[in-house]
Homo-oligomer: A and B are copies of this chain.
Amino acid sequence: MSADTDSSVPTEVHETLMQATYRALCAEGYADLTMQRIADEAGKSKSLLHYHYGTKRELLVSFLAYLLDRFEEKVEATEDDAPDERLRFLLDKMCPDEDDDGDYDRFGLALTELRTQAPHDEAYRTQVARNEVAIRERFADIIRDGIEDGTFRAVDPDRTASLLFAALDGARLQRVVASGVDSNDPSGPAHDTPADVRAALETFVVSDLLADDGDDASNRDEVTARPETDDTDATEGDE
């Protein structure tokens, strides 16, 4: 749990309220979000929300910290995998699921609206910046690890990380703003942009990072003295 989370909130209550905030943001969007709606989603009283988090703004800062915590947890769970698998896992995480029921768009829109408030509000800005920096750093860490163990060729890890994160972030932005979340036909002309960008990143970046690796996994073994990883499950559904 992040340092920004109010430690007086019991973990279970925090989890319930953060998940309720997620659902309320998907349902209402950012502009129409109310503490009452979040309380209703959580089956708790509005006064409990105010008691634990203060204002709506403070609750949303906690929510951004919660998103980051969850992101970190998921990424940390893959830490023992090979760098190329970890990289693909992270890239896939930023794309819509096969069974996405519209939350990718609705939450993407609400989050973008919240992010555009950040330049005007220091608490938002600090947390938004923290989340962005952490995601970028995670990409860079994986690339650095991959260079070190010989999985990836030598590239600038920070620049490459910036490209990967920005490309999928921009793809989501473009899909979301050109779509009609409130209309009967929610999918717009950029509906396939995240999948297209993911595929292009595979072609131009991931393949390139792996270019000098060939198919010889024993190369990597020599360098790292690690047991050979099982490549059979490489996440390549999008080739």
**Residue A234 at the B interface, CB < 8 A?**
no
Query: Of the 9-residue stretches A3-11, A49-57, A75-83, A107-115, which lies at the interface with chain B?
Result: A107-115
**Residue A100 at the B interface, CB < 8 A?**
no
**Residue A217 at the B interface, CB < 8 A?**
no
**Residue A237 at the B interface, CB < 8 A?**
no
Q: Which of B116, B178, B182, B200 contacts A159 (CB 8 A)?
A: B200
Chain A interface mostly helix, strand, loop or mixed? helix
Q: Which of A127-176 contact B (CB under 8 A)?
A: 128-129, 132-133, 155-156, 158-160, 162-163, 165-171, 173-174, 176
Q: Which residues of the partner chain B approach A162 to less than 8 Å between Cβ atoms?
A: 171, 193, 196-197, 200
Evaluate contact between B119 and A176: CB separation under 8 angstroms. yes
Given contacts A112-B116, A162-B171, A166-B197, contact A128 B177 (CB under 8 A): yes
Evaluate contact between B166 and A171: CB separation under 8 angstroms. yes
Q: Which residues of the partner chain B approach A163 to less than 8 Å between Cβ atoms?
A: 167, 196-197, 200-201, 204
Q: Which residues of the partner chain B approach A205 to less than 8 Å between Cβ atoms?
A: 204
Hey, what's the 0/1 contact readout for A193-212 against B, CB within 8 Å counting as 1? 10011011101110010000
Q: Which residues of the partner chain B approach A129 to less than 8 Å between Cβ atoms?
A: 178, 188-190
CB distance from A171 to the nearest CB of B (A): 4
Q: Which A residues have a C-beta under 8 Å from some C-beta of B?
A: 29, 105, 109, 112-113, 115-116, 118-120, 122, 125, 128-129, 132-133, 155-156, 158-160, 162-163, 165-171, 173-174, 176-183, 188-190, 193, 196-197, 199-201, 203-205, 208
Evaluate contact between A125 and B180: CB separation under 8 angstroms. yes
Given contacts A116-B177, A179-B119, contact A166 B193 (CB under 8 A): yes
Q: Which of B109, B133, B203 contacts A116 (CB 8 A)?
A: B109
Evaluate contact between B120 and A182: CB separation under 8 angstroms. yes
CB distance from A35 to the nearest CB of B (A): 21
Of all A-B residue pairs in the complex, the 4 with the closest CB atoms, nearest first, are: A170-B170, A166-B170, A163-B200, A169-B170
Q: Which residues of the partner chain B approach A109 to less than 8 Å between Cβ atoms?
A: 116, 119
| A/B interface sample: 7 pairs, CB < 8 A | A109-B119, A119-B181, A125-B179, A159-B199, A163-B204, A167-B170, A208-B208
Extra contacts besides A116-B116, A159-B199, A166-B193 (12): CB < 8 Å: A115-B177, A125-B178, A132-B178, A133-B189, A156-B199, A156-B203, A160-B200, A162-B197, A163-B197, A166-B173, A166-B174, A204-B208
